[in-house]
Amino acid sequence: MSVMILSTERLVLRSALPEDFEALLEGVFIDPDVMKYLSGLPLERQSAAAFFDVAFDHDGLGKKIGVLVERATKLVIGYAGLKEFTALGKQDLELGFVLSRQNWGKGYATEIGFGQLAYGFSKTDVPRLVAQVRPENRASASVLKRIGMTLHSEYERPHMGTWHIYVRARET
């Protein structure tokens, strides 16, 4: 049974179920257009399964990434969620979203981005939330700006090249 982490008007972010893997494999992990903005290349089934097992929230604790589901259809459309981030030298929380290609351009990234900001600032005491994006991923950078995040810095991720870090401070 899955646990709902957060919901928005059209989306539900929930803990992962074993049966979610195939939908994520087909819609995200093996799609070269999606993966070029993440690892750079599509994942092999074994690598995707290892990532799914380790990085996803299977316990419903809301401390790893979860499965993003379209509320109306109950279809898995990607993943999102807050996770620990230490690249700026502090214990931050990083928000993120990855959508299957057929769900690009529907406003889902902006919607789940705002949802994660609200969740992160209401459920934790972190002073800021961060996000990272490849510089060439203009669509995601635009979403981050739209949800009120600003470019903070640039850094080199080992074996993954240059990434931009965006930040949004807690409102006082």
- The predicted model gives 76-86 an average pLDDT of 95
Q: List the alpha helices (DSSP H) in 40-81.
A: 45-55
Report how far Cα 117 is from the mean position of its chain's Cα atoms: 12
Domains in the chain, ordered, with CATH?
4-169 (3.40.630.30)
Predicted pLDDT of residue 130: 98
Give the tokens for residue 74: 């109950």
Cα–Cα distance, 98 to 127 (Å, whole number): 24
124 membership: H or E segment, kind and range = none
| CA pair distance 122, 90, nearest whole angstrom | 20
Q: Based on the number of CB atoms within 10 Å of its own CB, is 96 exposed (0-12), middle (13-18) or buried (19 or more)?
A: buried
| Residue 124 one-letter amino acid | T
Checking if the pLDDT of 172 tops 80, the result is no
Chain segment 45-66, per-residue pLDDT in tens: 999 999 999 999 999 887 899 9
> What's the mean pLDDT in 94-104?
97
